Structures are given as C-alpha cells and as structure tokens.
Amino acid sequence: MLRALLVLLVLVHLAGCQSQRLEPIALAGPVDIPRFMGDWYVIAHIPLPPEKQAWNGIERYDLNEDGSITTTFTFRKGGADGEQKRYTPTAWITDDPSNAVWKMQFLWPFKADFRIVWLDENYQTTIIGRQKRDYVWVMARTPQIDDNTYQSMLVFLQQQGYSLEKLRRVPQQW
C-alpha cells in the first residue's frame, strides 16, 4: 500500500514537471531569401542577455555561396553613443519549402531556433520568433515604423502566444 502511494506521488510530481506543449508558431513563407538579405533595424525585441541595453540595433544578413547566411548584429550598448557591440553568428535554412525556419549558431556546436513568422509583402517589416516564444525581434528596413504597423505586429505576436510584458522598444537615434 505504501509503495503504491509513493509511486502515485512520484507520477503526480512528474506530470507536474512536464512543459506545456505549444501550438506550432506561424511561419511567413515562402521567403525569397535573396530579397530578405540586407539590413534590418531592430524596432523591438524580447532580448537575449547581451542585447538588453541595445540602441541602434541593426541585423544584417548576407547569403553565402554554400547557402549559409552570415549574420552581423551591431548595436550601441546603453545609449546612442555607447560602446559598439558586434556579433556574427551563422545561419542555415532548415525548411526548404518556406525558407522561414533557420538554425542560428552563435557558439559551436549549438544552434538556436530562428523563425521568420511575419513578413510583409514588400519585405519592409518582419518578425523573427522562436517556437518556445521566449525571444522575438520586430524589425524593419527603416529605423522607425508607423504606429499602426507596430500595433498590428504586436497583435500578431499576442495571437501567436507571446507575452508582451518583456518586449522592449529598441531606441533608434541616428
């Protein structure tokens, strides 16, 4: 009897430790990769630790001959005249039909989930998300976007299961 009770308690505890399964996040696609390449200004984000104080963030994508994508992320730390930071991860497209699912490698051998979840038809605004909904980047081809576009993007993020409490507007002061 005691053994059965202990097994039951362990099973209940383990069931409580399971993570909640999220519905698949939306994908933009098909993405015209050459058209997607170039500079994107970071308008808002749920930041990775190194970019929590980012100002003037720009993410640049360059397609390599082997199909990999060189990524260059630059920003000023703490202010428009702060120390310039630069990160250069490499990306690989992992979903050929949509071209919207990438793996981003910041540190070998680890690759992070990276998904193009929003892309307007003119390739002027985009949202990069993750299936886990833990990080996100709202980006545009210009340092500023109009409020209606920004609000539409926020509504989309909420519909995809993102909590906007941690979303941070990235100052773009040039």
* In the chain, where the domains are located: 24-169
* 105-134: average pLDDT: 93
pLDDT at 20: 59
Instruction: Assign domain 24-169 one CATH number from 3.30.479.30, 2.40.50.70, 2.40.128.20, 1.20.120.420.
Output: 2.40.128.20
List the structure tokens of 60: 């640049």
| pLDDT band at residue 78 under the 50/70/90 scheme | very high
User: Do the Cβ atoms of 77 and 93 come closer than 8 Å?
Assistant: no
The phi and psi torsions of 2 (rounded to 5 degrees) equal -60, -40
pLDDT over 90 for what percent of the chain?
78
pLDDT for 19 beyond 70: no
Tens of pLDDT, residues 148-173: 999 999 999 999 999 999 999 999 99
